Amino acid sequence: MNKNTVIKDIDELTDTYCNDCPIKGDLRKKRGKSGAHRFCIEHCSVGEQLQFLGQELLKIYEKR
């Protein structure tokens, strides 16, 4: 993977699943922004994919 591919994949995931996510919107109202963010990181399958892509991006930058 290269940097542009990873960034494109991250953008596509967030645009497709995160921007209009009803769960995230509901949790923001109930738990606040950090509570919703915590859910996304710990329990959401899309959040897991984003974490994986973030790690891939870090590997690319570490090789430089």
Would you list the domain boundaries of the chain? 3-62
Give the whole-angstrom CA distance, residue 19 versus residue 21.
6
pLDDT tens digits for range 8-64: 999 999 999 999 999 999 999 999 999 999 999 999 999 999 999 999 999 999 987
pLDDT for 63 equals 83
Going 29 to 31 to 32 to 33, the CA torsion angle's sign is negative
Per the listing, tokens 């996304």 go with 40
